Amino acid sequence: MITKADDYPIHQKPSPVAEVGTSRNFYDRYFFNGYSKDDEIFFGAVLCVYPNLNIMDAAFTIAYQDTQHNVRASRILNSERLDTFVGPIEVKVLEPLKKLQVLVNDKDSGINADIIFNGFTEVLQEPQMYLYDGPRKTMDTCRMVQHGSWTGQIKIENNKIDINPEKFVGTRDRSWGVRPVGAYDSQPPVPMSLPQFYWLWNPAHFDDFTTQFHFVDDSEGNIVNGHSILQYKNKREKETFSDLEKTVEYFKGSRRVKFLEINALDKNKDNINLKVTPKTRVFMCGLGYMHQEWGHGHFKGENERTYDTYNLSEDPHDPPFLHIQSISDVTLLRKEKIYDGSCILEELILGPHLPSGFKDLFDR
C-alpha cells in the first residue's frame, strides 16, 4: 500500500512504509510534558499511530487550579501515518529534532492550545528496552528524549495562559517499537504469572544543564534497564554516569513515592547525589495510559473524542490512577556544590518489588 510517506527517503526494508513488520502491537508515539517552575500548571500531550491496527489516537491534559482536564480522541488511521492529527489535536514537526508544535481546538471543553516546544539539549537515544513474559517478548522499544522550553498560549474555559520559555520547561520523547497496546492478549503464555513493572523516570532541569535518570526493576529489585546522564543546555556536551543506585521512601499505605535519592558516579568516579521531593501530581490516564475505556490503540470508531476532569485534591490508588507524573523539587550535590532545580518524577509500580516490600499486584 503506497502512502504519503513513500515520497520521502525513509524506507528501511523493501516494502512500502505502511508495512512495519508482523506484530499487531507496533506503535510510533509522540509524548510531551510541560510545567511552570512555580508548580501551578502542568500540561501533557500524546499522539500515536498503530499501523497494524490502522488506528491513530491522541490526548491532551492540563492540570490547572486543582482540576485536571483531559481531551482524548481516536480515529481510523487509513494507513496515512504523516497526517498527524486526531479530532481536535494535532502535532507538527516544525524543525526535526529541534522544534515541534502542539495544537488543540476542542470547542466542547473550551480548551484551545497553540504551543511550541523548543529543544535546548540534543536528542538523546536511550538504551533499547526489552521485556519478556516467559518466552514471549512483550516490549522491544526504541526511545529518544529531549529537554526544552515552551512558548505559546493555552486557553481553558475563560482563562488565558501565556506560555513563555522563562517560566515553562518540559521534556518530550519519541518512542516506537512493540509494546502491549489495544485489546488484551487472548492467549497469554502459560503458566500465568503475576504482572510486574517497576518504572521511575526523572528528567530534571537546572540553570545550565539537565539530568535524566530512569529505573526499570525486576521483582527482586535488580535494575534490568537504567540510564543516567547529564546534558548541558545549548551545547553538545554530555556526561553519562555509572553505578546507578536509588533509595525510595513511600507515603504510608501507598505506592506513591514520598522521597527519592539517587547516587551515581561521574566520569572521574566522583559521587553524584540527587534528591527528589514530589509535590503536584497528575494522572497519566488523562493521556490514555491504563485508561479503562480510552486506553492506547483501542478502536473507538471512525472519528471519536471525549472530555472529562479529575479532582486533584483526591488521589485514587487503584488502576487506572497508579501511573502518575509529579512536578517535584530536586537538588543535585556534586563536588560539595549544590544545584537546585525542578523536575518531573514519573511512577508506575505494579506487582512485587522486594526492596519496597510489595508482594502482590496492588498491595501498599
Provide the CATH number for the domain around residue 38. Answer: 2.40.370.10
- Residue 1: inside a domain: no
List, for residues 241-255, the tens digit of each pLDDT value: 999 999 999 999 999
- Residue 15: inside a domain: no
> In the beta sheet, which residues pair with residue 44?
33, 61
- Number of domains comprising the chain: 1
- Residue 18: inside a domain: no
- Taking only the tens of pLDDT, the chain with its 364 residues reads 888 888 888 888 888 988 888 889 999 999 999 999 888 999 999 999 999 999 999 999 999 999 999 999 999 999 999 999 999 999 999 999 999 999 999 999 999 999 999 999 999 999 999 988 888 888 999 999 999 999 999 999 889 999 999 999 999 999 999 999 998 888 888 888 888 999 999 999 999 999 999 999 999 999 999 999 999 998 888 999 999 999 999 999 999 999 999 999 999 999 999 999 999 999 999 999 999 999 999 999 999 999 999 999 999 988 899 999 999 999 999 999 999 999 999 999 999 999 999 999 999 8
> DSSP per residue over 71-127, as a string?
EEEEEE-TT-TT--EETTEEEEEEETTTEEEEEEEETTTTEEEEEEEEE-S--EEPP
- Within 10 Å of residue 29's Cβ, how many Cβ atoms? 21
- Residue 226: inside a domain: yes
- Residue 5: inside a domain: no
Q: Could you tell me the pTM of the whole model? A: 0.96
CA-to-CA distance for 63 and 42, rounded, in angstroms? 5
- Residue 363: inside a domain: no
Among residues 130, 154, 159, which one has the least CA distance to residue 142?
130
Structural domain boundaries, residue 158: 27-184+193-356
- Residue 20: inside a domain: no
> In the beta sheet, which residues pair with residue 105?
112
Spatial contact of 56 and 77, defined as CB atoms under 8 Å apart:
yes
The letter for the amino acid at 165 is P
- Residue 150: inside a domain: yes
3-state helix, strand, coil in the chain (%, to 5): 5, 55, 40
